[in-house]
Chains A and B, each alone.
Chain A
């Protein structure tokens, strides 16, 4: 379900280049739109309560309470405290991956070879662990806070034996995912290739980020209708604003 963009106020827009990392507080009532500019993007994401950062995205809670191993429009992203850090209100590519995580420096070198700053300058081969740690360090968090990441735009399925299948080109140019924040949520992002992407070339794709003000919380109706659990999760979230 895509909410027509003209009905919303655009607050800001920015391009996150492939390999880049960023973090910001998405305030209660705001919406973040991520748009795959070229196709085949992957964005690894972590979420925190902006005011109490020990409260973090909990993917096991998110998956089991919604009885899903994929996350898409209509699903909520839960913290370890039973609250909704973000609701996925739009998703035109249909699947975000909870299994793959991110690569560290050694794994990037094993996948793509050496890619140092000394030779490549800002085209050097970055990795998800370092990128996320840099952003988390800016908010006084550390390695202990680096838990599972959600890989937006990426699709990984599981066969009857439990083996993973990475689906290349799950996301096309123009595909978008919109996250609505029912509480003040610290968002930490990096745009890097999915760890299971078989492309032997280091070629992370850019994404467009845009921030919007949402007029009312009717935007969560889709999530509330998806599962009764989300009604309770959003109730828990409302309680911190008493």
Chain B
């Protein structure tokens, strides 16, 4: 696993925003801007989706992205492709080295299946996605597709097993992406309390943007 550091300085960032544990967050960035997602305390999952700002029906496409890079994991150098086949963003730096592309976002409904029927009324990422999307008005449920879980470790075995491992992220780990088009970023800073991945302790994240 190769780690790639960035030379960008937080002091020069044009935007710096704290995302508390369990909160949704939506942000527009322009083509050419760089965005950094920062795992402040470690072992957090930052559930993230990307859309074209000029046509929000164009969105991150997990299957095309994985197929074109011939790898199930994302790291520095990975290009995120849209459902139209266009490059949306490239990962330019990554000090964590492993991000989940297959696990999707927790939901009230999937929690009842994964954990127990009585988790139905707990907070979830898909609640966050819907809340941010419907307030903003450009996105609806139909636009919510398979997301990236930055900093989450979900290895796939050669036998086809999917395992949820202890996180390999730590306090201060980050991933940076350069946008190739104007992008809407939709984030749920995961509130999951049932998964040992985060030690049952959702923690805050930070997002930074640089213009160049």
The answer for the CA separation of A81 and B143 in the assembled complex, in Å, is: 15
**In chain A, residues 199-242, which have Cβ atoms closer than 8 Å to a Cβ of chain B?**
229, 232-233, 235-236
B137 interfacial contact with A, CB 8 Å = no
Q: Within 8 Å CB of B67, what residues of A?
A: 99-101, 164, 195-196
Work out how many contacts link A and B, with CB atoms closer than 8 A: 128
Contact B161 A61 (CB under 8 A): no
User: A105: shortest Cβ distance to chain B, in Å?
Assistant: 9
**Across the A-B interface, the 7 shortest Cβ-Cβ residue pairs:** A60-B104, A101-B63, A82-B109, A70-B160, A144-B142, A162-B73, A162-B71
- Name B55's closest neighbour in chain A (CB-CB): A143
Chain A binder among B10-18, B34-42, B111-119, B169-177: B111-119
Residues A78 and B113 in contact in the complex (CB < 8 Å), given A64-B162, A160-B158 = yes
The answer for the CA separation of A67 and B155 in the assembled complex, in Å, is: 11
Q: Within 8 Å CB of A100, what residues of B?
A: 63, 67
B residues contacting A by CB (< 8 A) are 57, 61-64, 66-67, 70-73, 83-85, 102-105, 107-114, 116-117, 126, 140-143, 145-146, 154, 156-164
User: A137: shortest Cβ distance to chain B, in Å?
Assistant: 14
- Name B73's closest neighbour in chain A (CB-CB): A162
Contact A54 B142 (CB under 8 A): yes
Contact A146 B162 (CB under 8 A): no
A119 interfacial contact with B, CB 8 Å = no
A residues contacting B by CB (< 8 A) are 54, 58-61, 63-65, 67-70, 78, 80-83, 95, 98-102, 104, 106-107, 142-149, 157-164, 195-196, 229, 232-233, 235-236
- Name B98's closest neighbour in chain A (CB-CB): A162
Q: Within 8 Å CB of B108, what residues of A?
A: 82
Contact B162 A69 (CB under 8 A): yes
Q: Within 8 Å CB of B110, what residues of A?
A: 58, 61, 64-65, 78, 80, 82
Contact A143 B107 (CB under 8 A): no
The answer for the CA separation of A70 and B156 in the assembled complex, in Å, is: 10
Residues A146 and B83 in contact in the complex (CB < 8 Å), given A69-B156, A78-B113 = yes
Contact A64 B114 (CB under 8 A): yes
Contact A164 B70 (CB under 8 A): yes
Q: Within 8 Å CB of A144, what residues of B?
A: 57, 140, 142-143
Could you list 12 A-B pairs, sorted by A, with CB under 8 Å? A61-B104, A61-B107, A65-B110, A82-B108, A101-B61, A143-B83, A158-B72, A162-B71, A162-B73, A163-B72, A164-B66, A236-B109
Q: Within 8 Å CB of A78, what residues of B?
A: 110, 113
Q: Within 8 Å CB of A143, what residues of B?
A: 57, 83
The answer for the CA separation of A102 and B140 in the assembled complex, in Å, is: 24
Contact B102 A64 (CB under 8 A): yes
Contact A65 B114 (CB under 8 A): yes
The answer for the CA separation of A89 and B85 in the assembled complex, in Å, is: 35
Contact A158 B156 (CB under 8 A): yes
